[in-house]
Amino acid sequence: MTTVSVDDAADQERKAPGRPRDARADAAIIEAVLDLLAAGQSADALSIEAVAARAGVGKATIYRRWPNKEALLIDAVATMKGPLPMPAGESVRDDLVMLVAAMRNKRMEEYGKVTACLLPELLKRPEMYRIYRSVMEPRRDIMRQVLRRGVENGELRADLDIELTLLMLAGPTITQNMLRWNPNVPDEGYAEALVDAVLRGAAA
């Protein structure tokens, strides 16, 4: 059986000191989770059996890597988020546009759907919500730092409410990703439009 031999290979890798764990099996497992969630499977209903079957590995391979389903789900979310974006550090406006654009693209829309499928689970289980936040926090910290830099170098108002501004940049973006809340807001040029509107203000 393929399943058993993949298991065995993974076992041998773990036992050999300094050898990396089987990255292909890891990727297949994570991808299986994301596929199942994106297909509308609720996190609640998602089973390790189904993940194992789809990834073509044994359940034992999954349990050797992740202690439980929650840990696996969180890793899948973190993987989908991709690497942390790095601001160029010149114009605060341009850095914010880059960070918002990194939140709003096809991959993130897919991610929004997956997160939507995770929500019932996240809201039911405080410990899972905490892990989820620990994946998100480094990302929002990057945006927080750009905003602080803007206040310090005078690009932004001295009395700016950093936390509220963070929410004003992320909230519309998350809502579009998850719900396509306002289909009348075009995707083309979204990040520039949002950042400039937040900077400029709506008052006459």
> Which residues between 22 and 41 bind a copy of itself (CB under 8 A)?
40
Quick check: 84 binds a copy of itself (CB under 8 A)?
A: no
When asked if residue 187 is in the footprint of a copy of itself (CB under 8 A), the reply is: no
Q: Which of 53, 78, 119, 142 binds a copy of itself (CB under 8 A)?
A: 119
CA distance 148 to 155: 10
Residues 48, 141: Cα–Cα separation, whole Å = 33
Q: How far apart are the first and last CA of the chain?
A: 70
The smaller minimum CB distance to a copy of itself, of residues 27 and 45, is found at 45
Q: Decide: is 173 part of the binding site for a copy of itself (CB under 8 A).
A: yes
From 9, 78, 135, 168, residue interacting with a copy of itself (rule: CB under 8 A)? 168
DSSP state letters, 57-90? S-HHHHHHH-SSHHHHHHHHHHHHH-SPP---SS
Nearer to a copy of itself, 28 or 151 (CB): 151
When asked if residue 167 is in the footprint of a copy of itself (CB under 8 A), the reply is: yes
Q: Does the protein bind a copy of itself through residue 124 (CB under 8 A)? A: yes
Burial of 159 (0-12, 13-18, 19+ CB in 10 A): exposed
Interface residue with a copy of itself among 15, 117, 134, 187 (CB under 8 A) is 117
- Asked if 4 is part of the footprint of a copy of itself (rule: CB under 8 A), the reply reads no
Tell the burial category of 22 from Cβ atoms under 10 Å away from its Cβ (0-12, 13-18, 19+): buried
Query: What is the distance between the alpha carbons of residues 187 and 105, in angstroms, rounded to a whole number?
Result: 8
- CA–CA dist 144, 152 (Å, integer): 12
Residue 161 binds to a copy of itself (criterion: CB under 8 A): yes
Which residues neighbour 77 within 8 Å (Cβ) at sequence distance 6 or greater? Answer: 111, 114, 115, 118, 132, 135
Q: Least Å distance between CB 201 and a copy of itself?
A: 2
Q: How far is the CB of 16 from a copy of itself (least distance, A)?
A: 41
The binding site for a copy of itself (CB under 8 A) comprises 40, 42, 44-45, 113, 116-117, 119-120, 122-124, 140, 150, 154-158, 160-161, 163-168, 170-176, 178-179, 181-182, 184-185, 193-194, 197-204
